């Protein structure tokens, strides 16, 4: 199998932490034996200029590499342009979150217009695509109702179970200079992203300090090289997620792979991921309820047992799913298909 992956999220020298989960998926497919060529649109460095002439760029890449399938990893203008330009071979689109459900409510008028245009583009691309992957059920529900759902799969992004594994907490805290006598909560997002709601996380910790844990500290996972993220996760007593929306947040699965508990608002597929995991909770989007759930988590001193629950979402397992979907949309191995959404949900 030979795939051309087209994406606007991928690590570069200037942005080494951008789209690391896409890069990990590409590498895991290559390790499985799939030949993968890449067309990267560096949106952070190039801005909207990277979309100019995209149709011609994709046609040129297809003529040069002659792939069996074109896999677009992100919706919006990227998926719209590719599904419009490529008609002589199947195009598969993976939707990740804001490309189907938008972003923060307090966006500027121009940002809000851009987001709405992106959602419209995503929905039009979905109607043209030969196959669709969404990373969570809420994105599946956001697809146009007129689609043929026999060509839609729910496949969360995979986790590198080798890198993300339990490490000694006190040693990780020592490496980061954190006080081992205090409780440490990790906010896994950048301050500048309003949809992540750092202010809600800060208010939650303030309530917790006032009523239960005066020594709790909140750390923001910002500007941290990707190779150091396992250390930050393992140094933490809990992960706190307060986003207005998510698809399938990779950091939640990475935390669980490290046996670190998660407290989150009901967003994306977090409820599904932490179901049955000890000391991990879904809370209302209020400082009081989040603080109550977080306090219950911090009372637990030892590690939790979550790693085995996400083994089915390893990079290797996810790569096998993607490879099977490539076979289905190219017509190479329909026997592997089953009922797309139902088949993969049962596997979860």
For 67-107, the pLDDT digits (tens) are 999 999 999 999 999 999 999 999 999 999 888 887 655 56
Q: Is the pLDDT of residue 336 over 50?
A: no
Q: Where in the chain are the domains?
A: 2-158+314-347, 169-309
Angle in degrees, 0-180, between the axes of helices 198-211 and 287-298, rounded to the nearest 10: 60
pLDDT at 347: 34
pLDDT at 5: 97
Closest C-alpha among 255, 323, 263 to residue 293: 263
pLDDT at 217: 96
Give the tens place of pLDDT for each residue, 52-65.
899 999 999 999 99
Q: Is the pLDDT of residue 345 over 50?
A: no
Distances (CA, A) of 27 to 5, 33, 211, 282: 12, 10, 47, 33
pLDDT at 54: 93
**pTM (two decimals):** 0.85
As beta bridge partners, residue 185 has: 218, 238
**β strands within 89-242, DSSP E:** 91-95, 131-134, 152-154, 183-187, 216-220, 238-241
Which region among 20-29, 134-143, 183-192, 327-336 has the lowest average model confidence (pLDDT)?
327-336
pLDDT at 343: 44
Contact, 183 vs 215, CB < 8 A? Answer: yes
Which region among 41-45, 178-182, 198-202, 330-334 has the lowest average model confidence (pLDDT)?
330-334
Q: How confident is the model at residue 15 (pLDDT cuts 50, 70, 90)?
A: confident
Closest C-alpha among 210, 183, 188 to residue 198: 188
199-210 in b/e burial notation, b at 16+ Cβ within 10 A? Answer: ebbebbbebbbe
Separation of first and last alpha carbons in the chain? 25
Q: Using a pLDDT cut of 70, give the percent of the chain over it.
A: 93
pLDDT at 346: 29
Q: Is the pLDDT of residue 337 over 50?
A: no
The whole-angstrom separation of Cα 266 and Cα 243 is 9
Q: Mean pLDDT over residues 138-164, rounded?
A: 91
pLDDT at 86: 96
The whole-angstrom separation of Cα 82 and Cα 78 is 6
169-309, which class in CATH? alpha beta
pLDDT at 247: 85
Contact, 112 vs 302, CB < 8 A? Answer: no
Average pLDDT of the residues of the chain: 89
Q: Using a pLDDT cut of 90, give the percent of the chain over it.
A: 69
pLDDT at 108: 66
Q: Mean pLDDT over residues 30-50, rounded?
A: 90
User: Where is 73: in which H helix or E strand?
Assistant: strand 69-73
Give the tens place of pLDDT for each residue, 185-244.
999 998 888 889 999 999 999 999 998 899 999 999 988 888 999 999 999 999 999 998
Asked if domains 2-158+314-347 and 169-309 share a fold, the reply is yes
Structure tokens at 72: 């677009």
Strand bridging mode 238-241 / 183-187: parallel
2-158+314-347, which class in CATH? alpha beta
Q: How confident is the model at residue 116 (pLDDT cuts 50, 70, 90)?
A: confident
Q: How confident is the model at residue 303 (pLDDT cuts 50, 70, 90)?
A: confident
pLDDT at 44: 79
């Amino acid at each position: 199998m030979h795939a051309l992956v087209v994406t606007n999220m991928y690590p570069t020298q200037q942005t080494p932490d951008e789209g690391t989960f896409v890069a990990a998926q590409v590498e895991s497919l290559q390790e499985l034996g799939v030949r993968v060529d890449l067309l990267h649109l560096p949106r952070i460095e190039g801005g909207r200029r990277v979309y100019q002439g995209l149709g011609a760029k994709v046609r040129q890449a297809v003529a040069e590499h002659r792939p069996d399938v074109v896999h677009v990893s992100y919706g919006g203008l990227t998926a719209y342009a590719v599904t419009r330009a490529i008609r002589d071979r199947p195009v598969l689109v993976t939707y990740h979150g804001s490309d189907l459900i938008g972003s923060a409510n307090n966006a500027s008028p121009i940002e809000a217009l851009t987001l709405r245009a992106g959602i419209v583009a995503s929905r039009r691309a979905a109607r043209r695509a030969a196959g669709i992957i969404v990373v969570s059920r809420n994105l599946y529900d956001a697809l146009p109702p007129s689609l043929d759902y026999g060509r839609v799969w729910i496949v969360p992004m995979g986790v590198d179970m080798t890198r993300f594994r339990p490490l000694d907490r006190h040693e990780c805290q020592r490496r980061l200079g954190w006080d081992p006598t205090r409780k440490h909560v990790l906010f896994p997002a950048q301050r500048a992203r309003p949809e992540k709601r750092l202010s809600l996380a800060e208010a939650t910790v303030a309530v917790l300090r006032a009523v239960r844990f005066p020594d709790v500290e909140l750390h923001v996972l910002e500007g941290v090289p990707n190779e150091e993220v396992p250390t930050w996760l393992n140094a933490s007593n809990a992960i706190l997620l307060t986003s207005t929306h998510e698809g399938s947040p990779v950091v939640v699965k990475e935390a669980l792979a490290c046996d670190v508990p998660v407290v989150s608002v009901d967003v994306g597929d977090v409820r599904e991921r932490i179901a049955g995991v000890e000391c991990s909770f879904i809370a209302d989007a209020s400082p009081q309820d989040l603080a109550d759930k977080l306090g219950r988590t911090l009372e637990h001193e030892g590690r939790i047992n979550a790693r085995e629950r996400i083994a089915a979402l390893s990079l290797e397992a996810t790569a096998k799913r993607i490879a099977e979907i490539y076979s289905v949309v190219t017509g190479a191995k329909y026997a592997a298909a089953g009922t797309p959404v139902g088949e993969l949900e049962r596997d979860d």
